[in-house]
């Protein structure tokens, strides 16, 4: 593992919510061990923030990732937090310049891109690429894994895993927002849930996925549910504005969306801020095409089976799961972070509430950056690398293929075997 003495220098390629979250952790925990030296982002507001927060000069700020990549290497590490479709070119260009990377997921948006990423994982073996699968760094999932590793309840037999997106979050990000269209971002199973596939692999240790089958559709947020006689393309003009669950003024005045705040203090402000914004559109009259619900059945090579359910139609945004073992079961839910275990031999049930106060993915953002810095500065083990991310992305993308083929089962292990046989190195996940 690469080590670095002195301050670690960072370039942020994309200064949105994700990069800002990681840089905030550095400021909090490693104020004397890091320095932000460059930012690439076209948004003038974010460029102004880069000047204010990081003291950057004009020659340290770039309008695009391409402009930054034209320069000689500017820092030790580059944080790639651009829109999903730009990730691959960022990885290619920045690795070629010699950067170590913090790479926001997804690492690729198609299976063909994923093959290119796999080649890169071998072509630059001396450079660190940390993939932001932050859930595996959380106290919550770490605790569940330690229970399983103890073998107290015997081997895992099956898992039920649910990602409850939250109706308001789905409307914001996947109907009105930048992840609403597969052509400009990627399929929902990938952009929202590649790290859920990663968590299943993480919990099962050295298991690999064998088959995956998936069903789902864009059932609700489509033009079939739009009535031009009683609705309007923009919520501010809609007669159902006050009664619709997905009304933009209602959603954005609820305080449930933390990443974007509109001034809705008066009727004039509501019209000014949501009257022409893409975030003010009717959810039944947008350009979205990603599924709004999806289910997958998964078989692993150790005989474990799992189901994964992904849905927009939940009251809150959280994950829940049940792990069924030979001698007991584990039930777990986020927000609050509760883990319940029942021992079949005694019928004793124990409930543990974890002390989780950090908001960013239940403390995952902070723990991920801490693990990264300890690895980068001191050579500590790091378990969220580019090569490890390939299989979870393949699972998500093949699940989407299966969904489009009415549930036709896909052989993930065969796809992975062909990938590694074509000159790539196979990950030894037993070392994770």
Q: Is there a single domain that holds both residue 313 and residue 178?
A: yes
Is residue 191, in this structure, part of any structural domain at all?
yes
Which pLDDT belongs to residue 358? 77
The total number of structural domains that make up the chain:
3
Fill in the DSSP letter of residue 281.
Answer: B
- H/E stretch holding 160 reads strand 156-164
Question: Which residues partner with 131 through β-bridges?
Answer: 103
Is residue 125, in this structure, part of any structural domain at all?
no
Which pLDDT belongs to residue 1? 41
What's the CA angle centered on 425, arms 419 and 431, to 5 degrees? 120
Is residue 121, in this structure, part of any structural domain at all?
no
pLDDT in tens, 42-59: 999 999 999 999 999 999
pLDDT in tens, 83-126: 999 999 999 999 999 999 999 999 999 999 999 999 988 899 89
Is residue 158, in this structure, part of any structural domain at all?
yes
Mean pLDDT of the chain: 93
Q: Is there a single domain that holds both residue 313 and residue 354?
A: yes
Is residue 80, in this structure, part of any structural domain at all?
yes
Is residue 117, in this structure, part of any structural domain at all?
no
DSSP class per residue in 122-148: HH-TTS-EEE--GGGGSHHHHHHHHHH
Q: Is there a single domain that holds both residue 307 and residue 405?
A: yes
Q: Is there a single domain that holds both residue 187 and residue 331?
A: yes
> Measuring CA to CA, which residue among 121, 123, 74 is closest to residue 99?
74
Q: Is-contact 286 221, C-beta < 8 A?
A: yes
Which pLDDT belongs to residue 4? 53
Q: Is there a single domain that holds both residue 178 and residue 240?
A: no
3-state secondary structure of 408: coil
* Segments forming the whole domain that contains residue 247: 223-280
Asked whether the predicted pLDDT for residue 324 surpasses 90, the reply is yes
Q: Is-contact 195 361, C-beta < 8 A?
A: no
Q: Is there a single domain that holds both residue 234 and residue 167?
A: no
Average pLDDT rounded to a whole number, residues 6-20: 93
Q: Is there a single domain that holds both residue 166 and residue 184?
A: yes
Asked whether the predicted pLDDT for residue 382 surpasses 70, the reply is yes
**How, if at all, do strands 209-217 and 293-300 pair?**
antiparallel
Domain edge (last residue) among 280, 298, 329: 280
Is residue 320, in this structure, part of any structural domain at all?
yes
Which pLDDT belongs to residue 259? 82
3-state secondary structure of 242: coil
Q: Is there a single domain that holds both residue 161 and residue 295?
A: yes
* Packing angle, helices 111-123 and 386-404, rounded to 10: 170
Q: Is there a single domain that holds both residue 315 and residue 206?
A: yes
* pLDDT top residue among 1 and 215: 215
pTM check: above 0.85:
yes
What's the CA angle centered on 214, arms 209 and 217, to 5 degrees? 150
Asked whether the predicted pLDDT for residue 429 surpasses 60, the reply is no
Q: Is there a single domain that holds both residue 14 and residue 46?
A: yes
Asked whether the predicted pLDDT for residue 309 surpasses 50, the reply is yes
Which pLDDT belongs to residue 346? 98
Asked whether the predicted pLDDT for residue 165 surpasses 60, the reply is yes
Q: How far is 162 from 418, CA to CA, in rounded Å?
A: 30
Asked whether the predicted pLDDT for residue 349 surpasses 60, the reply is yes
CATH number at residue 146: 3.30.360.10
Asked whether the predicted pLDDT for residue 431 surpasses 70, the reply is no
CATH number at residue 86: 3.40.50.720
Is residue 379, in this structure, part of any structural domain at all?
no
Q: Is there a single domain that holds both residue 312 and residue 243?
A: no
Q: Is-contact 398 25, C-beta < 8 A?
A: no
Q: Is there a single domain that holds both residue 347 and residue 273?
A: no
> Measuring CA to CA, which residue among 179, 209, 192, 143 is closest to residue 351?
143
Write a three-state SS string for 286-317: CCCCCCCEEEEEEEECCCCEEEEEEECCCCCC
Which pLDDT belongs to residue 116? 94
Burial status of residue 169 (CB atoms within 10 A of its CB: 0-12, 13-18, 19 or more): buried
């Amino acid at each position: 593992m690469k080590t670095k003495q002195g301050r670690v220098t960072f370039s942020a390629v994309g200064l949105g919510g994700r990069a800002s979250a990681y840089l905030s952790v550095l400021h909090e925990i490693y104020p004397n061990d890091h320095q932000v030296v460059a930012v690439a982002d076209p948004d003038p507001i974010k460029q102004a923030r880069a000047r204010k927060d990081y003291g950057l000069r004009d020659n340290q700020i770039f309008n695009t990732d391409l402009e930054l990549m034209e320069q000689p290497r500017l820092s030790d590490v580059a944080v790639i937090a651009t829109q999903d479709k730009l990730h691959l070119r960022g990885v290619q260009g920045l690795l070629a310049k010699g950067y170590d990377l913090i790479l926001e997921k997804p690492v690729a948006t198609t299976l063909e891109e994923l093959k290119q990423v796999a080649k890169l994982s071998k072509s630059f073996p001396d450079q660190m690429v940390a993939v932001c699968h932050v859930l595996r760094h959380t106290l919550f999932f770490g605790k569940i894994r330690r229970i399983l590793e103890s073998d107290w309840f015997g081997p895992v037999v099956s898992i039920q895993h649910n990602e409850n997106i939250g109706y308001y979050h789905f409307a914001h990000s996947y109907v009105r927002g930048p992840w609403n269209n597969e052509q400009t971002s990627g399929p929902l199973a990938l952009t929202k849930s590649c790290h859920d596939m990663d968590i299943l692999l993480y919990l099962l240790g050295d298991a690999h996925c064998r088959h995956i089958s998936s069903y789902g559709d864009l059932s609700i947020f489509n033009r079939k549910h739009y009535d031009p006689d009683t609705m309007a393309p923009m919520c501010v003009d809609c007669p159902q504005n006050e009664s619709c669950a997905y009304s933009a003024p209602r959603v954005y005045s609820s305080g449930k969306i933390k990443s974007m705040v509109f001034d809705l203090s008066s009727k004039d402000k509501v019209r000014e801020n949501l009257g022409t914004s893409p975030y003010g559109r009717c959810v039944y009259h947008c350009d979205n095409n990603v599924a709004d619900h999806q289910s997958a059945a998964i078989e692993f090579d150790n005989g474990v089976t799992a189901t994964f359910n992904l849905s927009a139609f939940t009251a809150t945004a959280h994950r829940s799961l049940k792990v069924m073992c030979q001698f007991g079961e584990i039930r777990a839910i986020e927000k609050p972070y509760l883990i319940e275990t029942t021992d079949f031999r005694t019928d004793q049930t124990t409930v543990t509430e974890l002390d989780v106060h950090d908001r960013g993915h239940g403390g995952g953002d902070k723990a991920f950056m801490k693990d990264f810095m300890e690895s980068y500065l001191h050579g500590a083990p790091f378990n969220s690398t580019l090569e490890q991310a390939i299989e979870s992305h393949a699972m998500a993308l093949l699940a989407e293929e299966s969904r489009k083929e009415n549930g036709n089962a896909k052989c993930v292990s065969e796809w992975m075997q062909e990938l590694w046989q074509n000159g790539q190195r196979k990950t030894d996940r037993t070392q994770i």
